[in-house]
Amino acid sequence: MNIEQHTEEHYDPVSNSMGMWLFLFTEVMLFGVMFILYAMYLHTYGIDFRHGSGQLNLVMGGLNTVVLITSSLTMALAIWALSLGQRSKSFLFLGATIALAGGFLVVKSFEWAAKFHHGIYPGSAELLSRSPGEMVFFSLYFVMTGLHAFHVIIGMILITVNAGFLAKGKMSPERMDLMKNTGLYWHLVDLIWIFLFPLFYLIV
């Protein structure tokens, strides 16, 4: 029995899907704890949080929201195209998703750079001179958006791997679990940002 036959015998799409859902559950728990922590501090430092939110770039945050929502669409279209056997079209949609993810990181890097330029980052003298609430707000901002950006990078790597397998003909409508699971992960990354955006940019 060769390796390919052995792999085929042990192919279990249900187990693959269950494993991914369990992983996503741990990710939800991770960000869920942070959201609860954020809510507690918002209740304590409501005015300071509003002041900190007013110093964020709403246009950049809104642009990144549109970019990520669009990337979720292109990821879904990549899966749809492959399910129809349209590999070249699926490959193009994967490329578009990677490009949009890269665009998100570029916008976020400009936003972070502006904050660093004004001396607003964890541990900076400027931030330490501000109210306790603002210090907490910007600390949470950098930690939570930074962790999210890390997940975006991981997603880009996974999507690139999918594109590589697709280009080599190792994916088909019958064997596309990796792309489906990657799509689930990417939709979670998008969903987390949809929560982060109003929490940090739209406090009223």
Residue 70 and residue 64: Cα distance in Å, rounded? 10
Residue 123 and residue 189: Cα distance in Å, rounded? 28
In a domain, 76, yes or no: yes
Residue 174 and residue 32: Cα distance in Å, rounded? 35
How much is the pTM? 0.88
In a domain, 9, yes or no: no
In a domain, 6, yes or no: no
Q: Which domain holds residue 52?
A: 17-201
In a domain, 90, yes or no: yes
Q: Looking at residue 204, what is its pLDDT?
A: 67
Terminal Cα distance for the chain, rounded: 65
The residue behind tokens 């002041």 is: 51
In a domain, 5, yes or no: no
In a domain, 161, yes or no: yes
Chain-centre distance of CA 165, in angstroms? Answer: 22
Q: Looking at residue 4, what is its pLDDT?
A: 40
Q: Looking at residue 13, what is its pLDDT?
A: 57
Contact between residue 91 and residue 163 where contact means Cβ atoms under 8 Å apart: yes
User: Mean pLDDT per 10-residue run, the chain (204 residues)?
Assistant: 41 66 88 95 95 95 97 97 95 98 98 94 90 95 96 97 94 89 96 96 86
Closest of 115, 113, 193, 195 to residue 155, by C-alpha: 193
In CATH, what number is assigned to the domain containing residue 195?
1.20.120.80
In a domain, 197, yes or no: yes
Residue 96 and residue 89: Cα distance in Å, rounded? 11
Domains: count for the chain: 1
In a domain, 33, yes or no: yes
